[in-house]
Structure 1
Amino acid sequence: MGRKKAAISGQLADIDLRLLRVFTAVVDAGGFTAAEIRLNLANSTISNYISDLEKRLDMHLCERGRGGFRLTEQGEVVYAATLELVGALEQFKQRINHSHNRIFGQLHLGFAEHMLGAHNSCIVNAMDSFSQQAPDVHVQISTMSSDEVTTAVMDKQVDIGITVLPHQYPELETLPLFDEEMRLYCAQGHPLFKKQNKEITREELLQFPFVESPRLMPGRETHPDMKLWNKQAKAHHQESRATLILSGHYLGFLPRHLVKNWGLEAQMHPLFIDTYGYTNVFHAITRKKRSNELIINIFNQCLRQSIAGTKKENS
């Protein structure tokens, strides 16, 4: 019997690289459905791409169906080899960038939602500086909840995240950027809305339902009383949380600047500011081990210069 012909006997084509990138995105996401948003592709399209890749490689790469998504042994080999290939391509781009003194490539940023309301200049000034230094870099910005930003950076979905960290991660580098004041809000229609703060006791709060936000999750509470609160609803996105609070049935935390920017100061008022109010610190976060080193370093430097400029203006 003759030796079986190699699945890829010639040069890799652009279609091969595209299919391999789709494959790694599916593996990183943990399945076809989870990869839809990341790839901006329909499930059926992703399935067709993976089938095409399997045909081109003459390999069965993964099991998918009711039992869930799972890589085969051949799939594990292809996934590892693809990561090596993508890393080599990034290194090639970086060497070319240094040689030509021009910067090419992509920068994917993950932003926590609504963070620009109070500190627009810090990010905008950094983006302005970066665009001048690296005009050929393709920039993509994805907006998500604060915890999702951290996950996206850890899972290599984005290069740099700007978010609030619940705790420190040894595998991440962090750069503090700016603060955000959080307050516990009550809205019109709620039994406490017409009461003065001095008329309300902390024990009275135990009678009412709260909306869970990231800082009200177990182990993240900023005050011991929060562990006793009745967290009857969950909304980690701020617009959804504001909707529940505005219904008049729930108490919950929102950024002070958002309530002001949305024109809701007459419909909401804060409770126990000194007791339960807290400050979020936004950080720029990146993986310590990363392939897009040059572009990431340039953007981080732009952030540092923007922060320094802001401090000088305020001093």
Structure 2
Amino acid sequence: MGRRKAALPGPLSDLDLRLLRVFRAVVEAGGISAAELRLNLANSTISNYIAELESRLDMRLCERGRGGFALTSQGRVVYDASAELFSAVDQFRSRVNHSHQRLLGQLNLAFAEHLPGGPDSVIVRALRRFSEQAPDVEVNIITLSSDDVTSAVVDKKADLGVTVLTQAFAELQTLRLFDEQMQLYCAQGHPLYGRSAIQAEELQQYRFVESPRLMPGREMSEDVRLWQRQARAHHQEARAALILTGHYLGMLPVHMVRSWGYEDRLQPVLAERYRYTNTYEAIHRRQPRNADAVALFSRCLQAG
């Protein structure tokens, strides 16, 4: 009986690396359709790339179709091995960059949605400095929910993130950046709108849209636990939409209410009693990929 052909009998080519990067993006997105935006490629093109990689490796890497997307056992091996491969490539690039005092490669950033600021924010100033000092580095930015930013950095899908941490992670190094003030609001049409004298006990009779980041007892009164939590919205716009119906109370960032131009439609409720602070931090692994680029961007953030 003949011996089975060895997959990739020769050196890895640029094409192999490209196909592996596409495969990794599909796995991390959870499917081919979900990876279209990330890769900026059509569904059919991505499918062809995956098929070509399977042909070159002589393996079935994933199941895709009406039943959904799922890795095969061989696909899991290839995905894990490719992580080691690209990590080694990044380490090689970092050492070469350091020897030439010139930064190359990629910097993958993950930002929490709706970061405080504007055209002159800490983030924009850091990006401006970094672009001036490392013009050859390709900067890739994704926006995620706060918790997903942390996961992306922990799982090595992003090199550096800016988010609000809810717990400490031993593997992460952090840099405090700025604070965001959260305030309880009602909108036009709500029974409390336009009133100046409001008793805390009254709030228990109204519906409240909860934010996952609201932590009663940390900075706000314990009576928050008694509110009618009849809706839940992680994203700020979704929470604002419910509040603007006039049927819900809810927490929103003060700076966003101002930037949206909603100050004439939203009213703070018992401002001194029901407010808390989110602290945004830059986070990265203690031994990140492309460490020189991460260190430079961290310095750019520290410069304020």
Q: TM-score, normalised by structure 2?
A: 0.89
Letter in 2 for 1:130: F
Corresponding residue for residue 258 of structure 2: 260
The change in CA–CA distance for 1:7 and 1:42 in structure 2 (over 3 A counts) is same
**What is the rounded CA distance, in whole Å, between the counterparts of 1:64 and 1:220 in structure 2?**
46
Taking every aligned residue pair, what percent have the same amino acid on both sides?
61
The change in CA–CA distance for 1:235 and 1:40 in structure 2 (over 3 A counts) is farther
Letter in 1 for 2:92: F
Structure 1 segment 49-198 matched on structure 2, within 5 A: 49-65=49-65, 68-117=68-117, 120-196=120-196, 198=197
Instruction: Verify the 8 A CA contact 1:118 1:257 in the aligned structure 2.
Output: no
SS at 1:117's partner residue? coil
Instruction: Verify the 8 A CA contact 2:216 2:222 in the aligned structure 1.
Output: no
Structure 1 segment 192-211 matched on structure 2, within 5 A: 192-196=192-196, 198=197, 200-211=198-209
**What is the rounded CA distance, in whole Å, between the counterparts of 2:278 and 2:67 in structure 1?**
41
The change in CA–CA distance for 1:238 and 1:203 in structure 2 (over 3 A counts) is same
1:265-291 deviation digits (Å, cap 9, x = unpaired) = 121111122211111111011123422
Task: Note the residue ranges of structure 1 that are not aligned, 5 or more in a row.
Answer: 307-315
Displacement, 1:181? 1.0
SS at 1:216's partner residue? coil
1:173-223 deviation digits (Å, cap 9, x = unpaired) = 211001111100111111100211x3x222221221122223237998854
SS at 1:77's partner residue? helix
* Greater percentage in helix: 1
Letter in 1 for 2:207: P
1:88-125 deviation digits (Å, cap 9, x = unpaired) = 21122112212222110111222222324379432232
Displacement, 1:251? 1.0
Instruction: Verify the 8 A CA contact 1:117 1:258 in the aligned structure 2.
Output: no
**What is the rounded CA distance, in whole Å, between the counterparts of 2:216 and 2:68 in structure 1?**
29
Q: Using the TM superposition, name which of 64-73 and 94-103 deviates more.
A: 64-73
**What is the rounded CA distance, in whole Å, between the counterparts of 1:214 and 1:45 in structure 2?**
38
SS at 1:215's partner residue? coil
Instruction: Verify the 8 A CA contact 2:98 2:292 in the aligned structure 1.
Output: no
Displacement, 1:87? 1.3
**What is the rounded CA distance, in whole Å, between the counterparts of 1:128 and 1:293 in structure 2?**
19
1:54-73 deviation digits (Å, cap 9, x = unpaired) = 11111112234566544333
Q: TM-score, normalised by structure 1?
A: 0.86
Provide the aligned C-alpha RMSD in A.
2.5
